[in-house]
Amino acid sequence: MKTVLTIAGSDSCGGAGIQADLKTIAAHGLYGMSVITAVTAQNTIRVSGIHVIPPEFVEKQMDAVFQDIFPDAVKIGMLSDSEMIRAVAGRLKAYHPKWVVLDPVMVSTSGNRLMDQEACECLIKELFPLADLITPNLAEGEVLSGLQITGRETMILAAEKISGLSGGGVLLKGGHLSDSADDLLVRPGEERRWYPGERIENPNTHGTGCTLSSAVACGLAEGRSLPESVAMAKEYVQCAIAAGLDLGRGSGPLDHMWRSEQII
C-alpha cells in the first residue's frame, strides 16, 4: 500500500487540516500518516483558539514516521512561524522524500493574513526549493508575486513569477475568480496547463485547499505524473463540493467520502 504523510494543523470540526487530509488519503485507498503542527479550536463559523506545537516535537513526529514507514509523498499545510518552517525544512533535507506538495497557508478564505512577513520570507527561502508543487490560492498568489490577479492573463504572470521563486511547479488555484474556477499549472521549461472548473453553487467549501493538495500527493504517491495527479485531484474536489454535504451553521466541509456513497 502506498503511503502519504501530511504535516499540518488539526481542525477540531474535521473539515480542514489534518482531518481533511487523512479523509482524502483514505478515500483514495492510500495509508495516511500525520505530523501535527498546531491544534485549533474551530468550527464552521469561527476559529476560537490555536495552540502551536513546539517545533522540536514536530521534529520528533517527523523522525518517528520517516524512520519506520517512509512516505511515498508528503503534503505540507499550516506552519505557524519561521522556527516551525525551519524545523520542517531541516527534516525534509535529512530524509529526502520523493515528492513534496506544499500548500502555503498564508491567507484565509476571508482574506485575513495568517502568516507574518518574516514567516512568508522564510517559507520561500527554506521550503519552496524543496517542494515539487506549490498550491497557492489567488490571495496567496498575490502575496507571493506582488501582483494583483484579476483574470487568466494575470494568473499566468503571477504563477510564472512564483515558479521563479521556487524553481518547481506552481498550481495557482482560480476558485475565487469571478467567472470560473480554472486552475493553472506552471512548471519551468514546460507548457502551461489549464484545468477548467465550473463554479458550483455551494457555500460549504471549508478545507478545499487542504483537500486538493492532499489529493495531488495521493496521485504522486501512486506513481502518476504531476499533470495527471492535478487533474485527478481537481475532479475529486469538484465532486466533493457537488455532493452537497451541509453540516454546521457556517461554511461547512466537503463530502470527502462521496465515492463510497455512490457505490452504496
Active-site positions read 173, 205, 207-210
List strands edge to edge, sheet with 31-42.
47-52, 31-42, 3-11, 73-76, 100-102, 133-134, 169-172, 183-186, 193-195
Burial class (CB in 10 A: 0-12, 13-18, 19+), 225: exposed
Lookup result for grid cell 495552540: 51
Give the CA count within 13 Å in the CB-facing half-sphere of 174: 26
Q: Report the alpha-carbon distance of residue 107 to residue 201 in Å, rounded.
A: 23
Q: Report the alpha-carbon distance of residue 37 to residue 61 in Å, rounded.
A: 10
Give the DSSP H or E segment for 133.
strand 133-134
Q: Which residues contact 218 (CB under 8 A, 6 or more apart)?
A: 2, 4, 24, 25, 28, 30, 73, 229, 233
Q: Report the alpha-carbon distance of residue 22 to residue 210 in Å, rounded.
A: 10
Lookup result for grid cell 489567488: 138
In the chain, the amino acid numbered 199 is R
The C-alpha cell at 142 is 498575490
The C-alpha cell at 183 is 486552475
Q: Report the alpha-carbon distance of residue 136 to residue 37 in Å, rounded.
A: 19
Rg of the chain on CA atoms, in Å: 17
